[in-house]
A = this chain, B = another copy of it.
């Protein structure tokens, strides 16, 4: 890889792995099309003991966001409280009291899916549309996340790169670029339940979230982190996975693998070109422990976005059922 020329390295991969038109001119789902009912039925068949694991970080004011690109942590406020109710302040009859609440948050503030309108390549969005025809101030008029409302349920596979590559700590160091070879050998090491193929949703654990919770958020949102190498683009394309998620802020390795200014180059390849749905800031800690204990790395994953009209992303509480 030429570390001096991000534009060329990105461009070559964008061209090589571009899925534009693969699912028709009107497509709004990209690689989520790899999931079909049979795949979901197969995934449900993986459930054994019925253990349910939430993969969501807390949506909490004390989160990692520091204001980059106006991303704040969620602000949760109350419209009515038990204090008022107990004091009889609410005006309801027969002893009824109530509490309501409100949230304001960037859709990218915590555990999330990036929609297909989240990233553009030279002014083009997924499937070759002009970015300005897709996402205006009114939102993503074409590939809004609401279109995936029932789509993101499939077989999930955990690839615990943290434990595999760093068995002592379970955590990859910041800046570690996970390669396709790493992914393949992790699959081999974890065994048959880790095989990855068409329609799977791959969850890559780096250990970065564990470190952030232990040591404090620090620069979890936007700082150095382990993550996928730009060179995994081919693997992400060829495996025909439906989606991928990590326990980091940005999915790909940071700092990026270039010696000149670059920003999220792998995003630029996979979202607008491959049409891959990416999850970020997932909590894979309990899942990793569970998989290790059970000796199984596959499960039913139900991770539907909130169908927010025209949104380019969505908060999500993904559930792994084992």
Q: Which residues of A contact B (CB under 8 A)?
A: 6-7, 10, 36-45, 47-54, 56-62, 67, 69-89, 92-108, 117-123, 125, 130-140, 146, 149-151, 153, 260-265, 267-268, 300, 302, 304-313, 315-317, 319, 321
Indicate whether A70 sits within 8 Å of B77 (C-beta atoms), given known contacts A10-B95, A268-B96. yes
**Which residue, A62, A135, A261, A310, has most C-beta atoms of chain B within 10 A?**
A135
Query: Do residues B44 and A321 form an inter-chain contact, with CB atoms below 8 A?
Result: yes
Q: Report chain B residues within 8 Å CB of A319.
A: 150, 153, 302, 304
Q: Report chain B residues within 8 Å CB of A85.
A: 120, 123, 131-132, 135
Query: Do residues A103 and B96 form an inter-chain contact, with CB atoms below 8 A?
Result: no
Query: Can you name 15 A-B pairs with beta carbons within 8 Å?
Result: A39-B50, A40-B52, A40-B321, A44-B300, A56-B307, A71-B79, A78-B136, A85-B135, A86-B87, A86-B132, A87-B87, A96-B263, A98-B119, A99-B140, A306-B316
Indicate whether A150 sits within 8 Å of B87 (C-beta atoms), given known contacts A96-B121, A137-B79, A317-B307. no
| Chain multiplicity (copies) | 4
Contact of A60 among B58, B87, B309 (CB under 8 A): B309
Q: Report chain B residues within 8 Å CB of A263.
A: 92-94, 96
Indicate whether A125 sits within 8 Å of B44 (C-beta atoms), given known contacts A118-B100, A146-B58. no
Q: Report chain B residues within 8 Å CB of A151.
A: 52
Q: Report chain B residues within 8 Å CB of A99.
A: 117-120, 135, 140, 312
* Chain B: minimal CB distance from A320 (Å): 9
Cα–Cα, bound, A153→B310 (Å):
28
* Chain B: minimal CB distance from A32 (Å): 11
Q: Report chain B residues within 8 Å CB of A96.
A: 119-121, 263-265, 267-268
Cα–Cα, bound, A44→B310 (Å):
32
Q: Report chain B residues within 8 Å CB of A311.
A: 76, 101, 103
Query: Do residues B309 and A83 form an inter-chain contact, with CB atoms below 8 A?
Result: no
* Chain B: minimal CB distance from A262 (Å): 6
Q: Report chain B residues within 8 Å CB of A118.
A: 98-100
* Chain B: minimal CB distance from A267 (Å): 7
| Beta-carbon nearest neighbor of A151 in chain B | B52
Query: Do residues A72 and B71 form an inter-chain contact, with CB atoms below 8 A?
Result: no
Query: Do residues A44 and B41 form an inter-chain contact, with CB atoms below 8 A?
Result: no
Contact of A84 among B83, B265, B309 (CB under 8 A): B83
Q: Report chain B residues within 8 Å CB of A150.
A: 52-54, 319
